Amino acid sequence: MQKDVWKGLFSPENKKMRSNVFLALMVGILLLAAGKSFSSFGGDAPEKSPQEEPAETTLGSDAETERRMAEILSKIEGAGQVDVMLTYRRTEEKTVARDEVREESYSEDDGKTSESLRVENTAILMEDRNGNTLPLLLSASSPEVEGVVIVAEGGGDPVVCAALNQAAQALLDVPAHKIAVLKMK
């Protein structure tokens, strides 16, 4: 039966059918080629690990954030020297992927039954591009700033206070009532 189909396909009477099959085959090949050029499955794009994805807002360490913020705020006209202190509602949290292996064993000796349970919980490790071994992160959250104290030489001027307050709100997404701007002695 199948041989008859192939013989019939290549017979001189089925020239139109051969053309249609050939055309369908060419369209399929064209779609495959076009699909690979738009697809990320081609292997050309490097894969990103969870550690390599940039966070929305990176504050760095507490001291580094305070130093950078003081540096920026001191550039505001009339502010003069500035010191900054941040308080945090929540610190940085990272959730590491873990592998849990449970082994249960039962034994019976002289009519006595004993059970033992062993649970082994280990972090899942991966290797970065530099060959360093790091734990696989499931999630990471940035520290959440609770309040800001800004002490500035120009803190006695209401215009400077307003500018420092506005800058702190923009930098840290903290409401105005959680920011204190004070005059430096």
Kindly give the residue spans of alpha helices, DSSP state H, lying in 49-121.
62-73
The confidence score (pLDDT) of residue 137 equals 81
Strands 133-135 and 137-141: unpaired
Please give the residue that has the higher pLDDT: either 51 or 9.
Answer: 9
User: Three-class SS of residue 52?
Assistant: coil
pLDDT at 132 over 50: yes
pLDDT grade, residue 147 (50/70/90)?
very high
Q: For residue range 26-73, what is the model confidence (pLDDT) as tens digits?
A: 888 877 777 766 554 444 444 444 444 443 344 557 788 899 999 999
Report the chain's C-alpha Rg in angstroms. 33
| Separation between Cα atoms, residue 175 and residue 149, nearest integer Å | 13
- pLDDT value for 50: 42
**Residue 20 in this model has a pLDDT that exceeds 70:** yes
Average model confidence (pLDDT) across the chain: 79
Q: What is the pLDDT of residues 68-93, one digit of tens each?
A: 999 999 999 999 999 999 988 877 78
Across 6-31, average pLDDT: 76
User: What is d(CA 163, CA 158) in angstroms, rounded to the nearest whole number?
Assistant: 9
pLDDT-derived band at 178, boundaries 50, 70, 90:
very high
* pLDDT above 90 (res 164): yes
Separation between Cα atoms, residue 164 and residue 154, nearest integer Å: 10
Look up residue 62 and give its two tokens: 């507490």
